[in-house]
Structure formats: structure tokens, C-alpha cells
Amino acid sequence: MYDEIDLDKIDRNAEPPTEEPARQYYFMAKCREWVKDFTQKQGRSPRACVVNMGCQMNARDAEKLTGILSRIGYEMTDTEEADFVLYNTCTVRENANNKVYGRLGVLNGYQKKNPRMMIALCGCMMQEASVVEKIRRSYPFVNLIFGTHNLYKFAELLHTALFHANASGAPKGASSMVIDIWEDTDQIVEALPAKRKYAFKSGVNIMFGCNNFCSYCIVPYVRGRERSREPEEILREIRMLANDGVVEVMLLGQNVNSYGKGLKQPVTFAQLLQKIEAVEGISRIRFMTSHPKDLSDELIETMRRSKKICKHLHLPLQSGSTEILRRMNRKYTKEQYLLLIEKLRAAMPDISITTDIIVGFPGETEADFEETLDMVRRVQYDSAFTFLYSRRTGTPAAAMEEQVPEDVAKHRFDRLLSKVQTIAARKAMRYTGSVQSVLVEQVNTQDAALVTGRMDNNSIVHLRGGADRIGTIVDVRLTECRGFYYIGEVV
């Protein structure tokens, strides 16, 4: 088992293996040598900080990067005044990019105080050539840049960056910036280490990339083509997680409903769920994201029957107007979406449904926007993420005429948000007095006599209890609803 290999037993003087993941374990061993040397000279281990700036997929990637750094011997820290800082970036909306440029200035200040500090950037934003060019020109103090497709090569890239550094461990400067970005990949490298944020729950990638090309979205360009992991690999990982104390898994993909299509022996997402249901020790299964165009009756039926799949579905609507949906290349109509909601509620009357909505897509008229409000009223979402449309260079929507003026979009956004919040608050009340199963996640940050957990539908509950409850699932009576969270007591 690679995950358990002792790095010190790897022959570091041999030629690097060509096959993966052996090659990466070899470079982990080489980096470990560097870390030992640092520790001896400085009298302490080097400290590393990994910052996740994106979605759940990025969060899982950050756990893999953290896993590799920990295996090498870095001490992980939350402070960015560290010896190695890695930003795992997102580029889905413009403001995500701006945040990175702002933070780089701060990091530069830290690096001036600690010349040994190395700064690395990876993730979706680095897949854009214009971004990398800008960093190369304007932020020469960055030491390492890599992308989403070669993330598995992190140990090897880190090795190159570390050995670009001079004898005292200080990076050489601008000329030594290591950059490696791939256009795409069809490779999936298994069995690399990962360090979970929580002991009792974990994200599990079931697929990578996206083939949908929604016209506003940059993800297919920065994450590449859709590819599914083999079901056996997914199950192997989940069994290992269960053995290690994990009770809840979140299956991750940009469009989990199309899981399995490209495999040699195609498997549907519903079939995969059934296999995962059989894994002993796993009590809760979640997944995201579901695309409405691929949500099958088989999946609804599998959810209905399952004792482990949480009765919660995140089903992005994006817009309530069929015309805007067409221009967004979403491949469903308002009526088809409503029909899905009907089917879901018929099968699982208490299912919690959440969504994503974009306001101000090019060409959105007041009437189109009214259709979105109408859908929010009709579906009665338990919660919704609302976004102002952001123009992403290279996507078809960026070139569309009739971009909606900012003030108009903002005004619509505020109206939508207020509607969404009113409905969500009212819906949340319906659980008051009921008994719900709650997975206890942490000691309450404000009051140490309380712990905080999540219901099946992902809502937050605070209840009396100590750290010994963390990771357990308890039945809780919800005594009070305070807007978006509950107070409860164990029954």
C-alpha cells in the first residue's frame, strides 16, 4: 500500500521511477531530506500553510497538498507567516482573482521579513495564461506555480523549487520561479497521501473536469474534460476512510449525475451510490453537484430507498427563464426543472432542496428576472447561493452583447436575496420541535459547554455536550430555530 510507505526506506540515490505514484513518493523522500537539513540548521521544522480559496473540489485538493507536505515533514500552520505558503486559487468569478492579487502583496511583506519563505500558487486561476503572465511580470517573488492537471506532481515540483534555493535555504529570487502548467490531462493518479480537515468526514472525488460548457462558466477550461474514477478505486478509498473513523462522505464532481459515462465498463451514479451504501462504517452519504439535465429517475429512487444518502439535493437552477437557460446552454427548461422538483417531493416529501442562481446574465430582461423570482416562490428552496454574473474572458457569454448594467443587476440581486432569505427562514421553522439525527462536528467556538453539528439536510444545530461527542451521530430534539441554525437537546 503506497499510503503507508516509509519515505526513509526509499532509495534516494537511485534514478527517479517513471511510473506514478512511485515517482511522487521518490520525490517526497528527496524533499524530506531537505526538510531534515532545514530542521537541523534552524532547530525547528519548516512550517507550511495551505490556503483553499475555492469550492469543495479545491478543498479536497488542498487536503491532498497538505497530505504531501505533512509526509515530507512540514509542520502545518494556519498562519501565512510561514516558511512555505501555498494558495489553491479559484477563478469562477472575477472577485476570486482580485483577492489573490491583493493577498500576494501581503505575502511579499512576510517574505521580506523571512527570506527563507517560499510562495506557491496553484489551482484553477493558474490555468489561465494571462494570469501566469501577469504574475511572472508583476509578482516576481513567487517561487512556484502549477495548475490543476499536474497537481499530483506537487512533490516533484516542490523538489525542483527547493533545490533552486541557495545553500542557506533562501530562494534565489525572480529568475528561479518554477512554472509548470498543463493544458489538459486524461490521467488520474491514485494513492497519494491526503490529510483530512475533519477526522470523521471526508470529501471523495468521484470525477474530475466538466464537459457541459455552460456559457458563463470557466470551469471546463480550467479543469479540463470530464473523467470518472474507477468505482473500485472510489470504494477502496471509502473503505480505507471508514476504517480510519470516517462516518460521512461527500462525493465530489462538477456534475455527479453524469458519473461513469466514459469508463470502460460504464456505471451510473445511482449504481455507484448503491455500492457505497454497502460500505460498513459509513453512515451518511452526500454528493455535489447535480446537474438538472442528468438527474435520473433511478437516482431519485436510489435516494428514496437509501438509509444513508442524506435527503438533501443541491440542484443549481441558475435562472428561472427558459430563454436565459437556453443562452446559458443549460439544456433544460423551467418546466422540466419544475417537473424534477415534483418527482423529488413525491418520492421524498421532506427532502431539502438548495440551489445556485446567477443574476444579470447577458440579455436578462426584467421579465426574465421575474421568472427567476417566480421559480424561487414555487420551488421554496431551503437555501440558495445567489451570484452576480461575472464576465469571464474566454467563455461564450463574455462575448455576448447586451451585458446587463451593473446597477440593474445589483438591484435585482438584492431583491432576489431578500426573497430567498424570507422563504428559507420560514422553511427552517418547520423543523422546530422535531427529532433529527445530528453529526457532531466541533466544540462551539463561542461557548465551550456546547457542541455544533449538522443535520441530514446540512443545517447547523448547537447542543449541550463536550468534545467526546465529536464524530458521533446523535438524535436531537430541535427546541428553537434561530433563523439559519437551531438549538437542540439530545433525546
Between CA 467 and CA 443 the distance in angstroms is: 6
The least distance separating ligand SAH from the CB of residue 94, rounded to whole angstroms, comes to: 8
The least distance separating ligand F3S from the CB of residue 62, rounded to whole angstroms, comes to: 10
Torsion region of 396: left, alpha or beta (phi above 0 gives left; psi -120 to 50 gives alpha) = alpha
The least distance separating ligand SF4 from the CB of residue 290, rounded to whole angstroms, comes to: 10
Q: Which amino acid is at 340?
A: L
Among 227, 387, 458, 464, binds ligand SAH (CB under 6 A): 387
Size of the site for ligand SAH (CB under 6 A): 17
The least distance separating ligand SF4 from the CB of residue 90, rounded to whole angstroms, comes to: 12
Among 17, 220, 262, 396, binds ligand SF4 (CB under 6 A): 220
Among 118, 158, 219, 272, binds ligand SAH (CB under 6 A): 219
Q: Does 327 bind ligand SF4 (CB under 6 A)?
A: no
Instruction: State the binding partner of 304 from ligand SF4, ligand F3S, ligand SAH, none, CB within 5 to 8 A by kind.
Output: none
Binding to ligand F3S (CB under 6 A) within 255-284 occurs at none
217-237 in b/e burial notation, b at 16+ Cβ within 10 A? bbbbbbbbebbbbebeebbeb
Contact status, residue 214 vs residue 328, Cβ threshold 8 Å: yes
CB atoms near residue 165 (< 10 Å): 16
Instruction: Output 92 or 162, the one with its CB closest to ligand SAH.
Output: 92
Q: Does 210 bind ligand SF4 (CB under 6 A)?
A: yes
Assigned C-alpha cell, 118: 517560499
Assigned C-alpha cell, 485: 441554525
Sheet of 352-359, strands arranged across: 312-314, 352-359, 383-388
Contact status, residue 83 vs residue 115, Cβ threshold 8 Å: no
Instruction: Output 148 or 452, the one with its CB closest to ligand SF4.
Output: 148
DSSP run (H or E) holding 276: helix 269-277
Among 29, 82, 92, 463, binds ligand F3S (CB under 6 A): 92
Q: Does 72 bind ligand SAH (CB under 6 A)?
A: no
Residue span binding ligand SF4 (CB under 6 A) among the ranges 11-19, 136-144, 212-220, 370-378: 212-220
Q: Does 291 bind ligand SF4 (CB under 6 A)?
A: yes
Between CA 228 and CA 218 the distance in angstroms is: 20
CB atoms near residue 429 (< 10 Å): 10
Binding to ligand SAH (CB under 6 A) within 274-303 occurs at 289, 291
Among 66, 143, 254, 321, binds ligand SAH (CB under 6 A): 254
478 has which bridge partners?
A: 488
Packing angle of the helix pair 366-379, 406-428 (nearest 10 deg): 10
Contact status, residue 467 vs residue 443, Cβ threshold 8 Å: yes
DSSP structural state of residue 258:
G
Among 64, 223, 327, 392, binds ligand F3S (CB under 6 A): 223
Which residue is listed with cell 461557548?
447
Among 214, 249, 303, 461, binds ligand SF4 (CB under 6 A): 214
Instruction: State the binding partner of 438 from ligand F3S, ligand SAH, ligand SF4, none, CB within 5 to 8 A by kind.
Output: none
Instruction: State the binding partner of 93 from ligand SAH, ligand SF4, ligand F3S, none, CB within 5 to 8 A by kind.
Output: ligand SAH
Q: Does 91 bind ligand F3S (CB under 6 A)?
A: yes
Per-residue binder mask for ligand SF4 (CB under 6 A), 233-272, x = binder = ---------------------xx-----------------
Between CA 251 and CA 189 the distance in angstroms is: 18
Q: Does 125 bind ligand SF4 (CB under 6 A)?
A: no
Contact status, residue 339 vs residue 293, Cβ threshold 8 Å: no
The least distance separating ligand SF4 from the CB of residue 28, rounded to whole angstroms, comes to: 31
Q: Does 219 bind ligand SF4 (CB under 6 A)?
A: yes
Instruction: Output 24 or 215, the one with its CB closest to ligand SAH.
Output: 215
Among 107, 118, 124, 206, binds ligand F3S (CB under 6 A): 124
CA distances in angstroms from 316 to 66, 341, 387, listed in the order given: 30, 12, 12
Instruction: Output 28 or 252, the one with its CB closest to ligand F3S.
Output: 252
Using CA atoms of 415, 421, 424, 425 in order, give the dihedral in degrees to the nearest 10: -140
Instruction: Output 30 or 291, the one with its CB closest to ligand SF4.
Output: 291
Q: Count the helix, strand and coil residues of the chain and give each as a percent rounded to the nearest 5.
A: 40, 20, 40
Per-residue binder mask for ligand SF4 (CB under 6 A), 38-67, x = binder = ------------------------------
Q: What single string gives the DSSP state of each residue in 306-348?
A: -SSB-SEEE---B-S-HHHHHHTT----HHHHHHHHHHHHHH-
Q: Which residues bind ligand SF4 (CB under 6 A)?
A: 210, 212-214, 217, 219-220, 254-255, 291
Q: Which residues bind ligand SAH (CB under 6 A)?
A: 92-93, 216-217, 219, 254-255, 289, 291, 316, 318, 356, 358, 387, 389-390, 392
Q: Which residues bind ligand F3S (CB under 6 A)?
A: 54-55, 57-58, 90-92, 124, 219, 222-223
